[in-house]
Amino acid sequence: MSKEAEIFVGKKPPMNYVLACLTAFHEGASEVVVKARGQSISKAVDVVEVIRRKFMPDAEIKNIDIGTEEIPLKDGQGSRRASSISIKLGKVKKSKAK
Amino acid sequence: MSKEAEIFVGKKPPMNYVLACLTAFHEGASEVVVKARGQSISKAVDVVEVIRRKFMPDAEIKNIDIGTEEIPLKDGQGSRRASSISIKLGKVKKSKAK
């Protein structure tokens, strides 16, 4: 199975996103991509670090990308730019059975 | 020349760090590493994106690392943990002379 899940980090507390990632792995995802924009970028990094440090020491960062996204303004006129990050986490398969 | 410069992003306005990076490249650095911790991580990503988009379209992201750092508390008792990021920017050499 090589399901990929995507978690978008926004305004909720970091632990919500940590749990969302763990749930995705638990449900069979082999890779989880954590994404965020603007001020939430710091939170996305925190989320990934908490997962790796406290819950899944066998999780591996496979790729990190940063970029710029155009976000349409709510009034429909024009757009603003925001930085974005995308962190791909993979589960390292254990060789021994539990 | 393969000088490497390090810019630590903190509480100043983003443009200060953009200028610090541009200056480092101008002074001969071939690589500049932009580092930040905690809430400043988002600003570090902004800084790199502004450099790439507005000032140095030929700059290339060579590597991005995230991690956790132990920061000693000011009272000297114990430490707290903070996420960190390190983005390595490289100057792509132009083939034509200026």
Model ipTM over 0.90: no
Q: Do A66 and B53 touch (CB under 8 A)?
A: no
- Domain for residue B96, yes or no? no
pLDDT tens digit string along B19-58? 999 999 999 999 999 999 999 999 999 999 999 999 999 9
Nearby residues of B8 by Cβ (< 8 Å), 6 or more positions away: B35, B36
Asked if residue B35 is part of any domain, the answer here is yes
Kindly determine whether residue B66 and residue A49, on different chains, have CB atoms separated by under 8 Å.
yes
Structural domain for B85, as ranges: 3-91
In chain A, residues with a C-beta closer than 8 Å to the C-beta of B68 are 49, 53
Q: Residue A21: how many CB atoms within 10 A of its CB?
A: 25
Mutate to test the interface with A, among B55, B80, B83 (most CBs of A within 10 A): B83
Work out the minimum CA distance from A33 to partner chain B, whole angstroms. 15
Q: How much is the pLDDT for B91?
A: 87
Q: Does some domain include residue A39?
A: yes
State which residue of chain B sits closest to A40, comparing Cα positions: B42
Smallest CA–CA distance from A52 into chain B, residue: B67
User: Nearest Cα to A84, choosing from A25, A44, A32, A28?
Assistant: A44
Question: What is the pTM (predicted TM-score) of this model?
Answer: 0.88
* Whether the predicted pLDDT of A94 surpasses 80: no
- Does residue B31 form part of some domain? yes
Identity of the residue in B41, B46, B53 whose CB atom sits nearest the CB atom of A45: B41
Residue A96, pLDDT above cutoff 70: no
Q: What's the average model confidence in pLDDT over A28-33?
A: 95
Structure tokens belonging to residue A92: 């390292």
Q: Which CATH number is A79's domain given?
A: 3.30.110.20
* Domains held by chain B: number: 1
Give domain status of residue B36, yes or no.
Answer: yes
